Chain A
Amino acid sequence: MIRIEAVSHEFGEDDDRVSALAEVSLTIGDAEFVAVVGPSGCGKSTLLRLIAGLIRPSSGRILLGERLISAPTPDVGLVFQSPTLLPWANVLDNVLFPLRMLKELSAEKIERARELLELAGLAGFEQRMPDELSGGMQQRVAICRGLIRNPAVLLMDEPFAALDALTREDMGQQLLELWSAHPKAILFVTHSVPEAVMLADRVVVMSPRPGRIVDIVNVRLERPRSMEMEADREFQSCTRRIREHIYGGRRLANAARNRAKVA
């Protein structure tokens, strides 16, 4: 379980201070899939980096289980927008990279890496080099790398944003399969409202500058999820509610400006 308690974060010094996150509180359950959506500059990526311990919050605290996160921790899996695989290592060695860095490699772990790759539809590609794979396959390798230490939490920063729309949908379904085989807390940052609703149990909606939680939408779609559910009333009402938060303010502002012009 992750507990984010009244976390604020500011960049820069003195007069140039920019508030990236303001008073964010959120609890994510052990096997819960939480998506974060919001416009650019709402501090989504900052939130992930804070949880990974890569940066320290200006105030507030983050607990992973009972432990306070105060330094970079290997107990969260990281998946980024670009696969960032090691170009010199084959697929299997890329997945094993975290274990090598932490000197945790064992025959058993190699077996686990093979199982993960098989689950991700990459059986037979273990010896291939990253530049021989498509973007979607590279990102699946990156997800396996994020899962290899079986972390309690997987942090995903717009993992499918660089993929084409069809691959993206397919990857979402594959991620859900992986997740149901290895349940864990997932915090999934995305720009795509339908993607967030399709994948997550709860969708956290954030506002920009400073990033605040505007709403948390519970998605009451049954699991396993499928693409057909996009037609469901629940799916529609969730996406509508999220979009209202994101675009609603702007629409109101535009309406006010137009009225002012007329007057």
Chain B
Amino acid sequence: MLIFSLLQLIFFPNITPETLIIRATGTLAFLMLQFILCIGPLARLESRFLPLLYNRRHLGVATFLIGAVHGVFNIVQFHALGNIDPILSVFASNVHYTSLQDFPFQVLGFFALIILFLMAATSHDFWLKNLHPKIWKTLHMCVYGAYFLLVFHVMLGVVHLEQSFGWIGVVGAGVLILVFLHLWSAFLEKSRLTEQMTKPQGTDGYYLLGYVDEIPENRAKMVFLGGENIAVFRYEGKISAVNNVCRHQHGPIGEGKIVDGCITCPWHGYQYLPGNGQSPPPFTEKLETYDVKIVDRQVWVNPTPYPEGTERAPTVI
């Protein structure tokens, strides 16, 4: 933001402080949202990005706050001096709703800010527990809607006002990168799932997962068998299998790693013991566990789940 502000002062020496704040906060909020939406697919494609997942929620709240500064300054600067309510003025000052060229772009930003506000306000786990998890997740997936609104807010707003090919390039590149990352990671995920569906089955209800050496130390290999989403972890010369869905926000346990002897969800750090799927006290979350066996360094998994928190002795490699 400082660099952007300095560049604005150099290229627009007569810029007012209000306009500088509006431009800087708007640009920063848009870039931050773009970055936040890249974190999910990046973490699925490359485990080095997993630590970013821990901080995604905080980044989201910060994005709302910066966007709110942009919105409030805009409303005060452009709508507070009229003879009608400033919020009403946002909707009434430009009424070309049927024209793409003259579309009231501020309205798009307004609705995006409302979505970001709802997400920021319900980001605490209190709301996850009190709202139904499905409602909570649906609400938070509205972030994609907010992003779509903001792309058009920027395109029909600053790009049309500035008529700058630089802005078109920046926004276009951002859109393409994000769409590519999400579709590519979804494609890989689907391929992986299809491959898992065709795992060889033994006569005793066990399915072949692969060789022990395919699982990195303190990491997991994920598999989808018989309707069960399973993460098989390797640690301290042992193998254990637990359900792959975190009880907190349905995060992918298997994309996390074992930290201090506990499986740690990559999304928000919820922890479980690999032997019984239980969160260490005083936490109460539990995962289903599964039987694993090793034959000739081949790992076999039985997808029949044991009740959440059931102790299963780890299989020694």
Q: A and B, one complex?
A: no
